[in-house]
Structure 1
Amino acid sequence: MHIDITLSDIKARKHFFSVPLDYQQSPSKQITVFARELVSVENQHKQLPYLVFFQGGPGFGAVRPLSYSGWIKRALKEYRVLLLDQRGTGLSTPVNATSLSYMSATDQADYLSFFRADNIIRDAEYIRTKLSPGEPWSILGQSFGGFCVLHYLSAAPEGLKEAYITGGIPSLTRSADEVYQATYQRVLAKNQDFFTRFSDARVLVDTLAKYLFDNKVYLGTGELLTVEMLQLLGINLGMEQGPEAVYYLLEQALIDTPHGVDVNPLFLHQFSQFLDYNTNPIFALMHESIYCQQQASAWAAHRVRNEFSQFNYRPGKPLLFTGEMVYPWMFAQFEQLEPLQQAANLIAAKKDWPALYNLEQLAANKVPVAAAIYSEDMFVEMQYSLETAKQVSNLKYWLTSEYEHNGIRMDGERVLDKLISLNRGHCLR
């Protein structure tokens, strides 16, 4: 089924596909995968090749285009763009506490085990047989989308003409523990930069943390706002314009009233908009599994945090923000995660995750790959990305300090243009 709509200078078509939950089992339960096809108005009658976009995450639907701008504008010059809602996100049989409520915790964990990069790529290949039969297509992955690209190159390179990665070259072999040991170091650096840039931020943060430690403060959702939850704001420090947004939120957190200091209702309303755990539970449920190959994550970020006591707050000690980490206590504190707590523990204990990367295939890769590696990226360790780049044949990279992790969102037209030039042997400009 497809539905046509019109955006600003863009024609869009909505596609819905019925795909197997488990491609290894026949027959299998079917789920729906949604993809939005874009073409510029001036090219709508041309037979253009496809560029498929894999969103960051895991657990987030593809970007919803609002205008003819950014990386989409550059891509539409020569492609039809396919925005894929990865299974479980957006309009693709969404995963949330409501949709999983009819399952036992064991069944929830078993169901969610089919929502990693391997099955996302199986979905993409299935869709290619429908939209581009017999023709390979181009792909672009941002952040976790880059992890999907590397799996695509490992598992089905015959389906690819060329590949692009921004902020998402994973280690092919390192464990979740190693990833988080590097990640905490980068988060420490982002904290230092934040408190240096905003001279009153230390007082604002520590005063608020002490208030939350001494008082029960509830968000508009009814959730208790804890110090640990406050620390999660640090995930925004790794985004361009993220530190500014966090600072402006914090500077209006507390207000003076005739009865003393109290929390600003505006802050309580806006706080929840900075964190996606209630609205995008796959991110919390499956995030650590994206690093797992034949081993359990066993709550890696939580365990590795014990090596970094700086992040353990107590009154009189400076508060530090955490980053892209998921902790078991989140499934007791976030309203929409609480019903999934048992499933989350089962997923964290799962040891038999299949391998995601074929090292021999990647070493012999013939698909042209161009990647942007951001040297200041808080989310993806630069040294691990460079390590992987040496292991993948035919991969060229652009190493830059110009952008944070969300560079393609902030300056996508330039970023994608550079990668296209790099892949085609043109001079970067």
Structure 2
Amino acid sequence: MKPDMMLAGVFAKKHSFTLPLNYQQPIGEQITVFARELCAIENKDKKLPYIVFFQGGPGFAAMRPAGNSGWIRRALKEFRVLLLDQRGTGLSSPINYQSLAHLTPAQQAAYLSHFRADNIVRDAEAIRTQLCPADKWAILGQSFGGFCVLHYLSAAPQGVSEAYITGGIPSLTRSSDEVYQATYQRVLAKNKDFFHRFHDAQHLVTRLAKHLLENSVYLATGEHLTVEMLQLLGINLGMEQGPESVYYLLEQALVRTPQGEYVNPLFLNHFCQLLDYNTNPIFALLHEAIYCQHNASQWSAHRVREQYPAFNYKIGKPFLFTGEMIYPWMFEQFSHLVPLKAAAELLADKADWPALYDLEQLSNNRVPVAAAIYSEDMYVEMNYSLETVKRVANLRYWLTSEYEHNGIRMDGERILDKLISLNRGDILR
């Protein structure tokens, strides 16, 4: 392996592939898909199988590693690791309001419709036939990456030797409304835990919310900071160290001076760093679509929220954070989403999304699958994951309360090692 770059204990090589935007029209418009191959320095001359990493999201690029650590350290003992920038992210024909500016809203929606798990998997399988056409490879999916893994096992199991999922076993059949009904319940529990752990947090955040209602406050990126925007910080409550990050930010939010009270510029800068909607628009545009099969989402999270009026903050009432939900008003308040509002409306009304999972194929699955299910996961409903487990043959799982949703980022070497042992029959679940 001739590396393009050297990290601590790792050789890294860049790959770029030209692939169809629409696999039903393979000679039509093409996109670029980027992947970074990693190999332990001591294994650079060995022929090792690949393991492909599917990042969480949708709409986030693969991690940019600094060296041989975490789950990568465990993987590199026996694999070459391929970090895939899913189409539309990172260096893979990235999508943003500028890259789509030349298209009409209808054209934007049509273009974006090709960026779900089905085409991400088609890209991966096309890459496999170029990199190692005679060999199968292993696949590892975190969060939304687990959705990609189950689609891979539905659509192209012949390319997979073994599969791993962390924090990302979706329901195979439930609607987006059912998903969000469960998610709001999870978010309520995370709010309860947050305000119990940090005893003055409710005072801090209601004081800040009152200030926002009575004053015009603008983020470092120029947007008007609203109470509903502030509630979005709750997306961090389901991550290891996320509640701490939110609390410490609230602690510094307001500054009192002889001239009056104002929002700390530090808060206004750091707030933007805890939300990704401007920088990763696919997450907002297609998040609900990842649950759609032959039906439209019609702003599911927004509609289901009506069943939970406690989230509608008013002065004098307790403040609640929201979670991993997308709302139509976000395309009016986040500056980089505003130009995509019309396309977002069309995607929310799109009802002809193809099916993502082949239930018969999964019930007869022969690829060994090992999964970590986090019982306290705020983003993926445990009971729906357990429903899916019963419908996928050859799947072993580890159910644990030790980790939040991003466990693989915090303790990835241990988690992947346990899943590899589970997949190969070395331990009982």
TM-score when normalising by structure 2: 0.99
Within a 5 Å distance, the mapping from 1:241-280 to structure 2 comes to 241-280=241-280
The alpha carbon displacement at 1:220 in A equals: 1.1
Residue 417 of structure 1 corresponds to which residue in structure 2?
417
Give the 3-state SS of the residue equivalent to 2:4 in structure 1. strand
Conservation of the 8 A alpha-carbon contact between 1:143 and 1:166: yes
Aligned-partner SS, 2:390:
helix
SS at the partner of 1:31? strand
Q: Could you say which residue in structure 2 is the equivalent of 1:142?
A: 142
Q: Which moved more, 1:79-88 or 1:214-223?
A: 214-223
- Match of residue 164 from structure 1: 164
For the 8 Å contact 1:367–1:394, the answer to whether it is kept is yes
How far apart are the structure 2 equivalents of 1:65 and 1:229? 31
**Matched residue count:** 428
Q: SS of 1:235's equivalent? A: helix
Q: Which residue of 1 aligns with 2:335?
A: 335
Amino acid at match of 2:373: I
Q: Which aligned segments of 4 or more residues in structure 1 are displaced greater than 4 angstroms?
A: none
Query: Whole-Å Cα distance in 2 between the matches of residues 3 and 176 of structure 1?
Result: 43
CA deviation string 1:205-259 (max 9, x = no partner): 1100111111110011110000000000000000000000000000000011111
- Aligned position for 1:232: 232
Q: Per the alignment, in what secondary structure is the counterpart of residue 262 of structure 2?
A: strand
Written as runs of structure 1 = structure 2, the 5 A alignment for 1:4-403 is: 4-403=4-403
Secondary structure class of the residue paired with 1:90 = coil
> What is aligned with 1:408?
408
**Percent sequence identity over aligned pairs:** 73
Q: Say if 1:89 and 1:95, in contact at 8 Å, map to a contact too.
A: yes
Inter-partner Cα distance in structure 2 for 1:84 and 1:19: 14
CA contact (8 A) 1:3 1:15 kept: no
Gapped regions of structure 1 (runs ≥ 5)? none
Task: Tell me the alpha carbon deviations over residues 287-316 of structure 1, each in whole angstroms, 9 at most, x when there is no partner.
Answer: 000000000000000000000001001111
Deviations 1:31-64 (A, max 9, x none): 0000000000000110000000000000000000
Deviations 1:135-186 (A, max 9, x none): 1100000000000000000000000000000000000000000000000000
TM-score (norm 1): 0.99
Aligned partner of 2:297: which letter? S
1:123-142: per-residue Cα shift (whole Å, max 9, x none)? 00000001111211000000
Secondary structure of 2:45 counterpart: coil
Partner secondary structure for residue 53 of structure 2: strand
CA distance in 1, matches of 2:5, 2:87: 22
Contact 1:418 1:428 in 2 (8 A): no
Native 8 Å contact 2:253 2:263 kept in 1:
yes
Deviations 1:349-386 (A, max 9, x none): 00000000000000000000000000000000000000
Unaligned runs of 5+ in 2: none
Is the contact made by 2:3 and 2:11 (CA closer than 8 Å) also made in structure 1?
Answer: no
Amino acid at match of 1:220: A
| Partner SS, residue 391 of structure 1 | coil
What is the alpha-carbon root mean square deviation over aligned residues? 0.9
In structure 2, C-alpha distance between the alignment counterparts of 1:160 and 1:78, rounded to whole Å? 16
| Residue aligned with 1:261, SS | strand
Deviation at 1:3, TM superposition (A): 6.7
2:54 touches 2:84 (CA, 8 Å); kept in 1? yes
